[in-house]
Amino acid sequence: MNKKERPAQQGLYRQEFEHENCGIGFVAHIKGKKSHSIIRQGLEVLENMTHRGAEGADKKTGDGAGLLMQVPRDFYLIQGYALPPAGQFGTGLIFLSQDSSDALRCREILLSIIKEEGVNLIGFREVPRNNSVIGEIARAAEPEIVQILLGADIHQDDLERKLYIIRKRAENIIRDSDIKQKSFFYLPSLSTKVLIYKGMLTSMQL
């Protein structure tokens, strides 16, 4: 898009912030209000960016598609989880090896670090997913996915820092361990504010 084709400056839009990218869409409420309609619009944006994502030889394995959103506290409350007030709990997805012994060791290391950092484990949540639509390449590298919920009675910014430290410490310790399938262990996010769901998916699969 050349400068003449760009929209006129209006609202929060500035021509000087216009850049090319590899396929990112952004939908938000200007006052931070959460709603399911924002998620729906985000998925519509993703559907319109299929031309920006590469596919594997099986035509069903994407080079990566994901969604970042605000932590949906009410959603977990409806499901029966007892949670502290917003800002005093965090959550994230954990990618684990399909090998049960490797997955167990990774969990043990993570839980040990969580305890050392003075954060409380609220629980784990199984993540519903459907792998019947993904390609053979993606299925061969498909991790086990669980969600973790953590809490602490401290200021949100302090908890946010602790969650970051937990995530980085766990990834580093497991990477340097003798666990066979340690490359499967990954935390896309661990935060009081945002949640990331992603994988070797195409836009339409997500």
Which stretch of DSSP H or E encloses residue 47?
Answer: helix 36-47
CA proximity to 95, closest of 200, 203, 206, 202: 200
Tens of pLDDT, residues 57-75: 676 777 778 889 999 999 9
User: DSSP assignment, residue 55?
Assistant: B
Residue 155 contacts residue 86 (beta carbons within 8 Å) = no
Beta bridge partners of 194: 70
pLDDT mean over 105-110: 97
* pLDDT at 192 exceeding the cut of 60: yes
Active site residues: 22
Tens of pLDDT, residues 20-57: 656 778 888 888 888 889 999 988 988 887 766 666 66
pLDDT at 155: 97
> Long-range contacts for 124-128 (Cβ within 8 Å, ≥24 apart)?
124/148, 124/149, 125/76, 125/79, 125/81, 125/149, 127/93
pLDDT at 2: 53
> What are the angstrom distances between the C-alpha of 195 and each of 14, 134, 148?
28, 22, 11
Please report how the helices 100-116 and 156-175 are oriented relative to each other, as an axis angle in degrees rounded to 10.
140
User: 57-199: which CATH topology?
Assistant: Alpha-Beta Plaits (3.30.70)
pLDDT at 136: 81
pLDDT at 57: 64
Tens of pLDDT, residues 149-191: 999 999 999 999 999 999 999 999 999 999 998 889 999 999 9
pLDDT at 203: 77
pLDDT at 85: 94
* pLDDT at 82 exceeding the cut of 60: yes
* pLDDT at 112 exceeding the cut of 90: yes
Length, in residues, of the chain: 206
Beta bridge partners of 121: 150
> What are the angstrom distances between the C-alpha of 40 and each of 93, 127, 158?
21, 19, 32
What pTM did the predictor assign? 0.81
Contacts of 17 (CB under 8 A, 6+ apart): none
pLDDT at 19: 66
Domain spans, the chain: 57-199
pLDDT mean over 107-122: 97
